[in-house]
Amino acid sequence: MKTILHLPAWYPHDNDPLLGTFVHRHIEAVSVYGRNIVVFVYPVSDRQEKFFIEKRENNGIVEFFGFYRNTYSVKLIGLLLKPIRFLRLQYKLYRTVVNAYGRPDLVHVHVLTRNGFVAWLIKKRFNIPYVITEHWSRYKPEANNYHGWIRKKITQKVVKAAAAVMPVTHDLKRVMQSRKLINKKYTVIGNVVDTALFTPRKKPLAKRYFIHVSTFGDDVKNITGMLRVVKKIKEQRTDFFFYIIGTGEDDEAIKAYAKQIGLSDETVCFKGPMQKHEVAEQMKNAMFLVMFSNYENMPVVICEAMACGIPVISSKVGGIDEVVDEKCGILIQPKDEKGLYDAINIMLDNNNNYNADYIREKALINFSVNLVGKSIISIYESVITGHV
């Protein structure tokens, strides 16, 4: 039995059950292949111990959670100790995995750069190959989140030494390559949707509402821009509700802004964070999904909406236009509030004209668990066979 060691930078855990759910879905998609072990190392500030380790088993996936204390009396000491504690705990967990299950055949890094550096060290020390899946939009200039000569050099070295790199969109592949992240084997493999859970509605609409789902980072998701547009539409018509699902760092500020501009709870309903099955229920019974991001790769919620057969309004950023065509929804330019205003009005009047079967079929072709899982597993087999 082959053993795959997964090193995710983001992964759902007790303190944040929504963190990296798309990473977890990728790992679930390959869980039929061999033994899959996850090692997730994360800083916390609410524990007394320097290190805390917990082991779980989740649908056949072995999970090791390693948390290290991230509180320091002096900031400079913290800058020095944080990477040391991270690497110490990674090494400790690697030895734990090897002692319990033997040496892994392959390491799969999910999101660069720190875990990629760990995989690079493992390759150098133990001659175990690694592959990378990248979701992060930080390489885009508008994200302004890819800085530092040392970080860039390490990232370049890590990407070059990988046996394969799997960005989730062609746009992300292009952006990564423009940052001199060179690898001979780039293969685009998209996100995963549970197409057995996210399904079309079986009954007519009970309530006319459209929906937005995200982590509340307004600099990326531009939720305040959507609220301004909804305010203008509400002044002209009252035949809809806007449901917003999620939470995040700007949660309180966004809710306060909605009240500030006069949007009542009767128009905009903040539903808070939800479990996956609850999101599916809200989504399948919505008229359409709205995303108005300033930059993105390929939001999983768009894939999920398509699996439910509902159309999408989105800004044309990242790899969204690789999947969403004119039969699936309306694409507008980022920050174009007039364009969003027109698109929502059009969709409110015409959403029934979209073919739910066509939209869902595009999701099945691009995002089904079996398809994505087989694509990743074929990479695994190629790398492991070629490394022997």
What is the reported pLDDT for 353? 95
Nearest CA among 122, 81, 96, 85 for reference residue 39: 96
| pLDDT per residue of the chain (388 residues) written in tens, 0 to 9 | 899 999 999 999 887 777 888 999 999 999 999 999 999 998 887 666 777 889 999 889 999 999 987 766 556 665 677 888 899 999 999 999 999 999 999 999 999 999 999 999 999 999 999 999 999 999 998 888 899 999 999 999 999 999 999 999 999 999 999 999 999 999 999 999 999 999 999 888 889 999 999 989 999 999 999 999 999 999 999 999 999 999 889 999 999 999 999 998 889 999 999 988 999 999 999 999 999 999 998 999 999 999 999 999 999 999 999 999 999 999 999 999 999 999 999 999 999 999 999 999 999 999 999 999 999 999 999 999 987 5
What is the reported pLDDT for 51? 79
What is the reported pLDDT for 15? 78
What is the reported pLDDT for 19? 84
Nearest CA among 147, 153, 103, 150 for reference residue 128: 103
Please say whether the beta carbons of 51 and 67 come within 8 A: yes
Residue 3: other Cβ atoms inside 10 A: 19
What is the reported pLDDT for 125? 96
What is the reported pLDDT for 88? 92
